[in-house]
Amino acid sequence: MKLIVPRPEEENRLFAFIGPFQPLVWLLIFISIFPVIGAMTFFTWLYKHLHWNNDASRGNNSIRWFTTISSSHMIYVINTLTNQGGREAFDRLSFRVLTGVWVLCAMVLVNCYTGIVTSSLTTPKMKPTINSFEDLAASKDIRIVLRSDTSMGDQILRATSGVYKVFGDQARRYPNQLVDNPFKLTTALQTGRYAYPYELPLLKI
């Protein structure tokens, strides 16, 4: 018993920009941004705090200063992730170590992401091929089409168990999957949405 199946189509690459990383990885990258910004803001506050002597002016401008510095660090972190670059003015070793670790991680992520996206866009990825009746039963895109005037179609429609019963129930549920002449069968197969089972003729010697 054989199957006539449509030629495998190329998978949709509309959302290829999301594919390189799994959702959990995207979530972890998003979460990691906030501790990095918080640590950079803390180091900046610490360095500035060591040089502040006027408590009154520090209290009056603390909220505005915190907002400005946090926004600046956020822009720097996002620019690094998007491969835009940027600069930070502090020359303290601890701050440089923190930004260096972040830049290194961002460089690895950006290069991995770019490489995977480039390869996925240049190399076509085909949908899985249907090689058996089990593959056809599990497929969501391809359905079976039967000729009701053949022994093969009658056998599937009369089946009471197994994969044949699945096909029979499917054909009864969707009447357009039952045809009674080869012209309708050809029309259905040309749509690329149906597979047709048939038996090889026995050769008498």
**33: number of Cβ within 10 Å:** 15
What single-letter DSSP state applies at residue 10? Answer: B
List C-alpha distances in Å: 182 to 57, 126, 154, 178, 192: 89, 29, 16, 11, 16
Instruction: Write out pLDDT tens, residues 75-107.
Output: 888 888 887 777 765 667 777 888 888 889 888
State the DSSP string of 66-104: HHHHHHHHHHHHHHHHTT---------HHHHHHHHHHHH
Instruction: Write out pLDDT tens, residues 15-38.
Output: 777 878 888 988 998 999 999 989
Answer whether 0.75 is exceeded by the pTM.
no
